[in-house]
């Protein structure tokens, strides 16, 4: 039986879903639909597929997200290869690296390429489309999935259907790809019945992708081969060579290959599109999320502690406190610990402009949540003022922070749950619940959780500078940069 390897591309930042999505914790890592994050839902999407052997996925991601992704896989009890990109170079290089990796794992598997931040609610229909695509991929075609449109959408590219390849009209040649149209053109596409939305989902043999990228963008292939061959294993991760990958051009799968396959002069593999009606969305803006969430009889969707009165067609999300709305319609309201967004549902694409302004002002709210995930656990900035900062810190069982030192701040640690093993210069000692210790400025120190329950602490920092870059690391079990 032929082997299928899911390739999950996890590189986007999702700035239009601010303030839930941030640069350092993007939308694919968020639980927007149910308890699973979008990434976890993508990994789980292949569960139950019949008639095809599905191997563990290859997840291609920015190295900044590596520990959160590894933890989300662990919570699912799933295995996978996490392939790290030192720089974002768009989807064509990401798929090329994944194909090179897949060829080492299997003779020549079929790859199912999926963005990590899409929603597919009808899994049965998706599985049927994958099963229909498999024979086309095995005949050395590059297959894409086109979403059957239900509206004249101007935010998506389109695929024009060519000749049908099956009696059941389940697969078609691709006539051409077209860019995002204006409204009248989109309506004409919808009325014709010969156009599908471009989903960004693909299927092909690993060798076929490598042959296609060699023909259309040999510069990308050469750079990726060099980065792969000089790469290394780093614990649970595959890390490509940073210097080699830095020279890789940036390009998308669509521009690098797919839009070229319709021209026979390019001598590329044939392109096939499979129509897909599976309640798909790319969740490109808050209005897209409102469309896929369950709604009440007035068209309202909500998550968290929310009360609505005389509201309609509105989405309200609360993460930390009660949010109430009275008499509003066609609105998006999103509350987080450090920011609140209120936007008309027709203007949600403009949220990106707010994020751009935050970045220009160098405000942390554009990059970080108040709650920040680390490989050892997480911390939440509870309060801050002139020369002080208070954090809640949770350390996973068996985890340890780096051996480190601060030039500008001292720290008081109060244990509220569990037991901490503390290194302070040459001392090593335990601190139990309701006990505390003090780390003077300039002192080498480490915090560990030797127990089997999470360690919860309150940390009070005081000093002239409290930024996260005031950390000098001497040892780190997670492979982060060592100084000194």
Q: For 85-114, write each residue's pLDDT tens digit.
A: 998 999 999 999 999 999 988 789 999 999
What would the two tokens of residue 286 be? 């808050």
Q: Is residue 71 part of a domain?
A: yes
pLDDT confidence of residue 15: 82
Q: Which one of 255, 281, 307 terminates a domain?
A: 281
Q: Is residue 392 part of a domain?
A: yes
What would the two tokens of residue 377 be? 């656990």
| Whether pLDDT at 481 is above 90 | no
Q: Is residue 45 part of a domain?
A: yes
Residue 57: phi, psi to the nearest 5?
-75, 160
Contacts 24+ apart (CB under 8 A), 315-320: 315/286, 315/289, 315/290, 315/345, 317/20, 319/20
Closest CA to 122 of 144, 147, 142, 143: 147
Residue 268 and residue 121 in one domain: yes
Contacts 24+ apart (CB under 8 A), 35-41: 37/72, 38/116, 38/117, 38/118, 38/119, 38/283, 39/8, 39/10, 39/69, 39/72, 39/116, 39/117, 40/72, 40/75, 40/76, 41/119
* CB contact at 8 A, 118 and 200: yes
Report the alpha-carbon distance of residue 337 to residue 125 in Å, rounded.
38
CATH number at residue 117: 3.90.550.10
Rounded to an integer, the average pLDDT of 172-189 is 94
Residue 74 and residue 176 in one domain: yes
Q: Is residue 483 part of a domain?
A: no
What Å distances lie between residue 223 and 62, 208, 227, 243, 293, CA to CA?
17, 18, 6, 10, 42
Q: Which one of 359, 383, 408 terminates a domain?
A: 359
Report the alpha-carbon distance of residue 122 to residue 171 in Å, rounded.
19
Residue 427 and residue 447 in one domain: yes
Residue 177 and residue 274 in one domain: yes
Residue 257 and residue 146 in one domain: yes
Each residue's pLDDT tens digit, 4-27: 999 999 987 768 899 999 988 899
Place of tokens 């998006």: 332
* CB contact at 8 A, 63 and 10: no
What Å distances lie between residue 20 and 71, 97, 201, 320, 344, CA to CA?
19, 30, 25, 12, 17
Residue 127 and residue 77 in one domain: yes
pLDDT confidence of residue 1: 59
Residue 350 and residue 396 in one domain: no
* CB contact at 8 A, 369 and 20: no
CATH number at residue 448: 2.60.120.10
Each residue's pLDDT tens digit, 196-224: 999 999 999 999 999 999 999 999 999 99
| Whether pLDDT at 483 is above 70 | no
pLDDT confidence of residue 363: 92
pLDDT confidence of residue 224: 97
What would the two tokens of residue 78 be? 């799933």
* CB contact at 8 A, 223 and 93: yes
Residue 276 and residue 295 in one domain: no
| Whether pLDDT at 233 is above 90 | no
Report the alpha-carbon distance of residue 282 to residue 115 in Å, rounded.
9
State which residues form the domain around 451: 371-475
- Extended strands (E) in 232-353: 232-234, 237-239, 271-276, 280-281, 301-303, 306-309, 315-318, 323-326, 331-335, 340-344
| Whether pLDDT at 473 is above 60 | yes
Q: Which residues pair with 302 in a beta bridge?
A: 316
- For the chain, the C-alpha Rg in angstroms (whole number) is 25
Each residue's pLDDT tens digit, 409-465: 999 999 999 999 999 999 999 999 999 999 999 999 999 999 999 999 999 999 999
Residue 184: phi, psi to the nearest 5?
-65, -40
- HSE at residue 397, side-chain half, CA atoms within 13 A, is 5
**Residue 39 Rama label (left phi>0; alpha psi -120 to 50; beta):** alpha
Residue 273 and residue 143 in one domain: yes
- Which residues, at least 6 apart from 264, have a Cβ–Cβ distance to it below 8 Å? none
Residue 458 and residue 376 in one domain: yes
Domain count, the chain: 3
Closest CA to 20 of 382, 366, 344: 366
User: 81-85 and 420-424: which strand pairing?
Assistant: unpaired
- Which residues, at least 6 apart from 180, have a Cβ–Cβ distance to it below 8 Å? 154, 155, 156, 157
Q: Is residue 65 part of a domain?
A: yes
Q: Is residue 484 part of a domain?
A: no
Residue 104 and residue 198 in one domain: yes
Confidence of residue 121 (pLDDT cuts 50, 70, 90): very high
| Whether pLDDT at 192 is above 90 | yes
């Amino acid at each position: 039986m032929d082997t299928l390897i899911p390739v999950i591309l996890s590189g986007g930042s999702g700035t239009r879903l601010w303030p839930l999505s941030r640069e350092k914790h993007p939308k694919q890592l968020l639980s927007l639909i149910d308890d699973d994050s979008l990434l976890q839902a993508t990994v789980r999407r292949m569960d139950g597929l019949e008639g095809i052997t599905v191997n563990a996925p290859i997840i291609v991601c920015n190295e900044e997200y590596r520990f959160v992704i590894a933890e989300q896989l662990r919570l699912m009890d799933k295995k996978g290869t996490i392939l790290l990109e030192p720089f974002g170079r768009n989807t064509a290089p990401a798929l090329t690296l994944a194909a090179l990796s897949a060829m080492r794992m299997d003779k020549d598997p079929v790859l199912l390429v999926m963005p990590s931040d899409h929603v597919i609610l009808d899994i049965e229909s998706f599985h049927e489309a994958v099963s229909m695509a498999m024979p086309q991929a095995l005949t050395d075609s590059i297959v894409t999935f086109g979403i059957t449109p239900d509206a004249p959408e101007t935010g998506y590219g389109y695929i024009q259907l060519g000749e049908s390849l099956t009696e059941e009209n389940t697969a078609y040649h691709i006539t051409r790809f077209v860019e995002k149209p204006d409204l009248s053109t989109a309506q004409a596409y919808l009325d014709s019945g010969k156009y599908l939305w471009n989903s960004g989902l693909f299927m092909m043999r690993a060798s076929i992708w490598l042959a296609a990228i060699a023909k259309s963008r040999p510069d990308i292939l050469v750079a990726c081969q060099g980065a792969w061959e000089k790469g290394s294993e780093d614990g649970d991760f595959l890390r490509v060579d940073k210097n080699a990958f830095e020279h890789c051009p940036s390009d998308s799968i669509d521009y690098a290959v797919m839009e070229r396959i319709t021209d026979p002069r390019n001598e590329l593999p044939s392109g096939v599109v499979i129509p897909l009606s599976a309640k798909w969305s790319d969740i490109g803006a808050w209005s897209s999320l409102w469309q896929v969430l369950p709604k009440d009889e007035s068209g309202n969707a909500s998550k968290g502690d929310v009360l609505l009165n005389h509201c309609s067609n509105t989405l309200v999300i609360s993460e930390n406190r009660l949010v109430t709305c009275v008499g509003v319609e066609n609105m998006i309201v999103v509350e987080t610990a450090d920011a609140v967004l209120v936007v008309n549902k027709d203007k949600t694409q403009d949220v990106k402009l707010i994020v751009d302004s935050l970045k220009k002002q160098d405000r942390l709210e554009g990059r970080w949540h108040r709650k920040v995930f680390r490989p050892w656990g997480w911390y939440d900035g509870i309060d801050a003022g002139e020369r002080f900062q208070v954090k809640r810190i949770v350390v996973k069982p068996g985890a340890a922070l780096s051996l480190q030192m601060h030039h500008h701040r001292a720290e008081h640690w109060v244990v509220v749950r569990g037991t901490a093993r503390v290194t302070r210069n040459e001392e090593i000692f335990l601190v139990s619940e309701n006990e505390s210790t003090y780390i003077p400025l300039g002192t080498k120190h480490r915090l560990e959780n030797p127990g089997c329950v999470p360690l919860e602490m309150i940390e009070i920092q005081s000093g002239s500078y409290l930024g996260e870059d005031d950390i000098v690391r001497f040892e780190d079990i997670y492979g982060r940069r060592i100084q000194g």
